Structure 1
Amino acid sequence: MNNNYILEPFIKKEQIADKVKELGEKITSDYAGEELFLVGVLKGSWIFMADLVRYIDLPLEVSFISVSSYVGQTTKSSGVVRLLCDIDKPLNDRNVILVEDIVDTGLTLSYLKKLLEVRNPKSFKICALLDKPERRISDISADYVGFTIPDEFVVGYGLDYNGYFRNLPDISILKFK
């Protein structure tokens, strides 16, 4: 990775931690007395999901699914979603929460919602750390949202650019010089 970029601070790690705790407590309240099955969308959601499950005080299982809609070194989605790795458990009669890092065009979430809902879950909801409604193409929204953000390319806290920046504790806006 060259140094031809600028990272503008956007959401501090303390704000993220507070919001993740709030989301976990809300999910715990909404599903009181129930069991959950969380499906994390790789690779971007893994840090968010790891923190989120620590604040959900219910019995739960975790699995991951991997999809891609980016090709090469770009900050724009290709619009074509490819399933790279599927979950390894049945979903029938389970309370499923799909955990995503960011809702952008909505194409990936629409694809995943259709893919998972045909597996007959008891309930199906979406939890996203970030929501970028200005970019929405598909008519879909998350049931649990951490932050609504403007149309900027963000990295950090699991979000990346070409595999880089996932390890940053804060979320920053990535700009090229």
Structure 2
Amino acid sequence: MRDYKDFLAEVLIEPEALQKRVAELGALISHDYRDSDALVLICILRGGVLFLSDLIRHITVPHAVEFMAVSSYGSGKRESTGQVRITLDLNMNIHDKDVILVEDIIDSGRTLASVLDLLSARKPRSLCVCTLLDKSERREVYVPLRYVGFTIPNKFVFGYGLDLDELYRNLPFVGVVDEDRYREG
């Protein structure tokens, strides 16, 4: 197995900045939902797990946690196919609940738009998105983002929940892949 340092071009977001922003997002959500009696955070697996686990430590209002898994990427995992498959659906009924969809990164918006349509059909009281990373210059479909950790440039990133060939999710920072060195290996 290769060491990530062999193809790390730069650290885009340092661990301290990540943790500070996650705490700020948790405080915002706690404030905005202080009167909610039915807050549900839905994490899109697998990339959002690390973000979610840190985020909920900073949310001071009662909330439930649910998980979904969706697939829209081909074998290269760099480009969405545009076809979304739900591979793990919710166990909870979200009718009349305040729902926050927690994502690791928003790229084209196509996958997220499909998931939002699916969840909207289940008639939640409210539905919004909290994403750690927004790659807005790649957006092809409008998606409303209520909570954004960082807006990032169009770079191939990994770490802090985002994988590179299913590896390196555990890194405490968001790094940029040097694609030339990565392909060489």
TM-score surpassing 0.5? Answer: yes
Contact 2:128/2:144 (<8 A) preserved: no
Give me the whole-angstrom Cα distance separating, in 1, the residues matched to 2:133 and 2:3. 26
The structure 2 residue matched to 1:156, chosen from 145, 153, 159, is 159
CA change 1:73–1:45 in 2 (3 A) is same
CA RMSD of aligned residues (A): 1.4
Query: Sequence identity, in percent?
Result: 43
The equivalent residue for 2:62 is: 59
Contact 2:42/2:99 (<8 A) preserved: yes
| Paired AA for residue 152 in structure 1 | K
Q: How many matched pairs?
A: 177
Is 1:88 the counterpart of 2:66 in the alignment? no
The structure 2 residue matched to 1:102, chosen from 100, 105, 126, is 105
Contact 1:42/1:66 (<8 A) preserved: yes
Deviation digits for residues 124-149 of structure 1 (CA, Å, limit 9, x no counterpart): 11000000011101111311000000
Return the TM-score normalized by structure 1.
Answer: 0.95
CA change 1:154–1:33 in 2 (3 A) is same
Give me the whole-angstrom Cα distance separating, in 2, the residues matched to 1:103 and 1:95. 21
Structure 2 unaligned regions, length at least 5: none
Structure 1 segments of 4+ aligned residues over 4 angstroms from their partners: 1-5
Structure 1 unaligned regions, length at least 5: none
Return the TM-score normalized by structure 2.
Answer: 0.91
Give me the whole-angstrom Cα distance separating, in 2, the residues matched to 1:55 and 1:113. 24
Shift of 1:3: 6.1
Contact 2:157/2:176 (<8 A) preserved: yes
